[in-house]
Amino acid sequence: MVDRIKQGNVISVEIEPPILGESIQQVYDILDPLVALGIAYVDITYHPEEVVGFVERGDQRFPLHRRKKPGTVGVAGALVGRYQKQGIEPVPHVICTGFNRHETEEYLIELSYLGVQNVLALRGDPARGPDGKFVPFAAVPGGHERAGSLVRQIADLRSSTYVGAETGMPVDFCIGAACYPEKHSLAQSLQADINALKEKVEQGVDYLVTQMFFDVDMYSRFVEKTAAVGIAVPIVPALFPFTSYKYVTSLPSFFGCSIPAELASRAEQYKKKSEEMRKLGIEWCVQQCEALRKCGAPSLHFYLHRNAPVAEVIKLIR
């Protein structure tokens, strides 16, 4: 898939699996119009188990775990079947959270059997506790502490190297990974984060996808800084056309992305005018797309969450 990204003018999206108990038809309802608009690939998020309560047995309490949005593997396989003629590539997320190395290997093998050829390797969000809050990230025994070692495991499959130095048939995934134009929240500085990013890329990353951002100049500076340390893989900008004022306050704290003063000021004017706010989100995103293409971004990636009007944006930039 990295070859398609390098060709330029590629558009991709990220979706979540349905909530437990809901139909995959809702995924098709979201994607069918976007496929008709020419998207090239679909990222599929993976959600770790959450502690939803406790059960008491004698004098002991045991946590109850539940995955509220299961089905990443199933959705990936379904997309292979439904959109094969259109050439749509599913890109399931592979995360560190909740997986040991053997479980990661089994997950990757299942994906390969379904015809999946591309994955996005991430540390992943930490799990949530029964109060709904994130608990500190901790690798499970035998799991990966960082995305870089996860990338290495996936890349090792290309040379037929399995867990425990066992060998088998090669499994050749195109590997994407995340990067942060405003630095990862846990990094001491942007430069330190870029240095760590270089180490991750050297483990076998084929392309990078940024965290969402709203300032194109920030992306351009980030690309320059990564090139300066020798990172040469494509860096795909990720965008989110928000439709509500609540995102102006929630996105910076949740995703670590800043809101430019101009956008914040205009959003403040429309905070109680839903239609105007929606138009602003679309307009700003379209302007970002146009500016990103001018500065040489290899492709454009959109988050589809919360009914983001991505189809409208794509129609305006085609």
* CATH number for 309: 3.20.20.220
CA-closest candidate to residue 96, choices 142, 51, 146: 146
Determine the structural domain holding residue 63 and report its residue range: 2-317
Domain count along the chain: 1
Instruction: Please give the chain's pLDDT, 318 residues, in tens.
Output: 898 998 888 999 999 999 999 999 999 999 999 999 999 999 999 988 777 677 788 888 877 767 778 999 999 999 999 999 999 999 999 999 999 999 999 999 999 999 999 999 999 987 777 777 777 888 999 999 999 999 999 999 999 999 988 889 999 999 999 999 999 988 999 999 999 999 999 999 999 999 999 999 999 999 999 999 999 999 999 999 999 999 998 999 888 899 999 999 999 999 999 999 999 999 999 999 999 999 999 999 999 987 899 999 999 998
Q: What's the CA gap between 63 and 66, in Å, rounded?
A: 10
- Tokens representing 274 are 């839903």
The pLDDT of residue 268: 95
CA 297 and chain centroid, separation:
17
**Half-sphere exposure at residue 91, Cβ-oriented, CA atoms within 13 angstroms:** 27
The pLDDT of residue 122: 98
**pTM score, whole prediction:** 0.94
CA-closest candidate to residue 160, choices 152, 151, 169: 169
User: How distant, in Å, are the alpha carbons of 15, 28, 44, 124 from that of 66?
Assistant: 20, 25, 19, 17
The pLDDT of residue 6: 85
**In this structure, what are the phi and psi dihedrals at residue 303, rounded to the nearest 5 degrees?**
-85, 130
Q: Where does residue 48 fall: left (phi above 0), alpha (psi -120 to 50 degrees), or beta otherwise? A: beta
